Amino acid sequence: MTEKTIGRRDFLKVLALGTATATGFRIARKTAASEPTGSSPHQWAMVIDQAKCTGCESCNLACKAHNDVPPDISWNCVIETESVGNRKVFLPRPCMHCEHAPCVEVCPVGASYYRSDGIVMMDYDRCIGCRYCEVACPYNARAFNWKDFDEPNPTVPTWGQPEVERRERGVVEKCSFCYQRIDRGLSLGLTPGVDEEATPACVVACRVGARVFGDLNDENSEVSQLLRENPHYRLREDLGTGPRVYYLPAREEVEG
Amino acid sequence: MKLLRNRFEFSAFHFWFIILSVFIVAGVVAGVIIFREGLQVTNLTDLVPWGLWITIDLSAIALSAGAFSLCAVVYLLGLKQYQPVARTATFIGLLGYSVAMLCLLMDLGQPLRAWHGFVYWNTHSVLWEVTMCVGLYFTVLLLETMPIIGDYKWMRKYFPGMAGRLSFVTHYAPFLAIAGLGLSMLHQSSLGATYGVIKARPIWYRPDLSVLFIISAVAGGISLTLLATMLSARFYPRIKVNDHLLERLAFVVGWVLVGYLYFRFWDGFAMTYTYQPGKTEGLQMITTGVLAFNFWIGEILLGIVIPIIILLVARFRENPLLRMVALALVVGGVVAYRWDVNLAGQLITLTYLPQEIAARYTAYVPSMIEAIYGAGVVAFGILAFILGVRYLNVIDHGVVEEEVQEAPQVVAATD
């Protein structure tokens, strides 16, 4: 009987120890990856003018070069949609960098997270490759690295030089709004969306000026002005994801 | 002694041992190839990233639900006479979760980072909750299985101290049953919610999946336990089973199935009232499209309706052969349900193009190597169970025979 009591106590001790260890792990690891939205002075957004886009894919190719994306993956695919008049209309689709991103919510390990400036980021060292985020993303903006990418990147050097590390096999990757260009640009005192060095590669590469990047917190930024003055829409707004990529729809009359 | 006598004659055991071992070896080879080559050897795509392995994983977890339900019956409801059945269910649960984890491990793009789920927490994620619960519940199952190992003759003979300590874990069974019940209720239903929270795949996006997952798991889990017990009794005449207990539990399964049928119909037909892009197409695919046979025949007719008839009509239920057929059908039905849920949302996705938010059809058929690995993992589960029956006495209704007051007839199943 006494043995039993001690046994039970031991059992509870083991239980307590286990809980303590788990809690210890929790405290020891670095705090939640996501930073509170809005604590940054900037809120990055992209405006894509479908009236101007010609579907040339320059943005996609520049993206592939600057971000060292494997040939079978596009972070920034350009989709042919409908026609207005007798003109084809295209829909370039980067990551939407949603305000309420399903991918961030579902990731079991927090490998997808919000930066305070609104960018939805991937921690490629933390991703376990469960692909739940792929299932959850309504925009198919995420791609899994099914195989190794060892070959030279065919878009380099024609379309630019890689600025970030290649992702390894077995993780999910996606557009990052070229955070590396933004961060480096800001540290050099440049303005993303104005100075090419500090602006996402796809925006710089667009020959017809269909892509505009900038800070929604800056009233005078080009994105703020465009959104103030033009009718615009976002993809699948009904889902409540709050995309940070805005589209100006194709119109019969193309100005400028 | 029996073992010695059997050693030199080629028995059914040897036959199955060889067959299953072949599958396991093939599975190991496939596993090594997948580990080296990565998931490019599968037929999974960015639109259908979850396939056969996830179905096996979900099914194995569902069919392990006998462990928590029966442990709750024995230790929380206090129906002690069912303890030997709970013991079998616990062992099946341990194997089921092992099967699930082997499948998941292969399915991860970064299997070596599997531990990230326990260290990096995203408390918003249903899948994180499932990961934690499955991990903790596996620990509970390990503890619950310890007395079985402690009772192993070989352990008792060579490591009596250790065997005694392992057997002593029985004293914590009520605590473990509470922990197991909580963890299982959480993750069994959360596995449904894993799909249910996904807005991007309209057919999944509904709260009912949690309810359906847990109720089907209880039916399937108890069924597998009963079926495995009855099958083993047929193969091993020395195994004593109390058919009265099995018959009572089969009756319970019959009523659980009635609840399951009700929810499945309510769930399915509540979707038919309005047209919702993606959801309606998904439902059509299940009821009249590529999954229709699976749904109507596999899930509803064979998986629910026929078993209900057999298990609720005393005359049919008391016939051991018919009862076994019914239990096997329930198990098959639960697997079919998991397959349908997993595929339904992935084969129909919604486009995000502004002018045509319409359903888009995708396709998925498992590749050969996916099938070989899956078969290997399942074969491992079956072989481990057979070995458990043979050497660990996981089915032995003689254990508490004396303790039960009513002294129900103990039937040593023959032939």
Say how many residues make up chain B: 415
Shared-domain flag, residues A25 and A45: no
CB contact (8 A) between residue B354 and residue A235 = yes
Q: Which residues contact B56 (CB under 8 A, 6 or more apart)?
A: B99, B100, B103, B374, B377, B378
Shared-domain flag, residues A6 and A91: no
Average pLDDT of the residues in B356-380? 93
Residues of A in contact with B103 (CB under 8 A): none
Residues of B in contact with A8 (CB under 8 A): 171-172
CB contact (8 A) between residue B127 and residue A171 = no
Q: How far apart are CA B99 and CA B381, in angstroms?
A: 6
Q: Does B121 touch chain A (CB under 8 A)?
A: yes
The answer to the question of residue A254 being in a domain is no
Q: C-alpha B62: how far from its chain's center? A: 4
CB contact (8 A) between residue A102 and residue B198 = yes
pLDDT (0 to 100) of residue A23: 67
Q: C-alpha B378: how far from its chain's center? A: 11
In degrees, rounded to 5, the angle at the alpha carbon of residue B60 between the alpha carbons of residues B55 and B61 is 100
CB B395 within 8 A of CB B88: yes
pLDDT (0 to 100) of residue A254: 53
Q: Which of residues 132-171 of A touch B (CB under 8 A)?
A: 132, 134-140, 142-148, 169-171
| A73 → chain B, closest CA residue | B46
pLDDT (0 to 100) of residue A11: 66
pLDDT for B63-115, tens place per residue?
999 999 999 999 999 999 999 999 999 999 999 999 999 999 999 999 999 99
Residue B371 identity: A
pLDDT (0 to 100) of residue A1: 39
| A5 → chain B, closest CA residue | B171
Secondary structure (3-state) at A103:
helix
Q: Which of residues 334-353 of B touch A (CB under 8 A)?
A: 345-346, 349-350, 352-353
Q: Does B167 touch chain A (CB under 8 A)?
A: no
Shared-domain flag, residues A108 and A186: yes
Which segments within B269-358 are labelled E, that is strand? 348-350
Shared-domain flag, residues A19 and A75: no
Residue among A26, A131, A138 whose CB faces B200 most closely = A138
Q: Which residues contact B140 (CB under 8 A, 6 or more apart)?
A: B176, B179, B180, B183
Q: Using 50, 70 and 90 to split pLDDT, how confident is the model at B408?
A: very low
Give the Å distances, CA to CA, from A156 to A68, A163, A181, B46.
8, 11, 17, 25
Q: Does B124 touch chain A (CB under 8 A)?
A: yes
A157 cis-preceded (ω within 30 degrees of 0): yes
Q: Does B171 touch chain A (CB under 8 A)?
A: yes
* Residue B146, H or E segment: helix B126-150
Could you tell me the residue range of the domain that residue A20 belongs to?
Answer: 1-30
pLDDT for B167-217, tens place per residue?
888 889 999 999 999 999 999 999 999 999 999 999 999 999 999 999 999
Instruction: Provide the residue ranges of all domains of chain B, joining segments of one domain with +.
Output: 25-391
Given CA atoms A165, A166, A172, A177 in this order, what sign does their dihedral have? positive
pLDDT (0 to 100) of residue B414: 42
CATH, residue A157: 3.30.70.20
- Under-50 pLDDT residues of chain A: 1-5, 31, 256
pLDDT (0 to 100) of residue B6: 52
Which segments within chain A are labelled E, that is strand? 44-49, 77-84, 87-93, 112-114, 120-122, 143-144, 172-173, 211-215, 245-248
| B53 → chain A, closest CA residue | A130
The answer to the question of residue A255 being in a domain is no
Shared-domain flag, residues A98 and A110: yes
Residue among B117, B126, B352 whose CB faces A236 most closely = B352
Shared-domain flag, residues A177 and A62: yes
Shared-domain flag, residues A84 and A8: no
| A28 → chain B, closest CA residue | B119
Q: How far apart are CA A17 and CA A8, in angstroms?
A: 14
CATH 1.20.1630.10 fits B25-391, yes or no: yes
Please report the ipTM that was assigned to this predicted complex. 0.89
Q: Does B116 touch chain A (CB under 8 A)?
A: yes
Number of domains in chain A: 2
Alpha-carbon torsion, ordered B350, A106, A124, A119, to 10 deg = 80
Q: What is the 3-state secondary structure (H, E, C) of B153-201?
A: HHHHHHCHHHHHHHHHHHHHHHHHHHHHHHHHHHHHHHHHHHHHCCCCC
CB B350 within 8 A of CB B277: yes
Secondary structure (3-state) at B148:
helix
Q: Report the relative pairing of strands A245-248 and A44-49 from DSSP bridges.
A: parallel
User: Pick the residue with more confidence: B415 or B51?
Assistant: B51
- Whose tokens are 């479908």? That residue is A50
Secondary structure (3-state) at A11:
helix
Q: How far apart are CA A96 and CA A177, in angstroms?
A: 9
pLDDT (0 to 100) of residue B404: 43
Shared-domain flag, residues A44 and A106: yes
Shared-domain flag, residues A47 and A166: yes
Lowest-confidence segment of A90-104, A224-238, B7-21, B237-251 by average pLDDT: B7-21
pLDDT for B292-351, tens place per residue?
999 999 999 999 999 999 999 999 999 999 999 999 999 999 999 999 999 999 999 888
Shared-domain flag, residues A24 and A73: no
The answer to the question of residue A256 being in a domain is no
pLDDT (0 to 100) of residue A26: 59
Residue among A25, A170, A233 whose CB faces B110 most closely = A170
Q: Using 50, 70 and 90 to split pLDDT, how confident is the model at B157?
A: confident
| B346 → chain A, closest CA residue | A135
| B136 → chain A, closest CA residue | A18
Shared-domain flag, residues A63 and A140: yes
Shared-domain flag, residues A23 and A132: no
Whether the per-residue pLDDT at B407 is higher than 70: the answer is no
Q: How far apart are CA B304 and CA A40, in angstroms?
A: 56
Alpha-carbon torsion, ordered B44, B45, B46, B49, to 10 deg = -20
Residue among A128, A134, A148 whose CB faces B108 most closely = A128
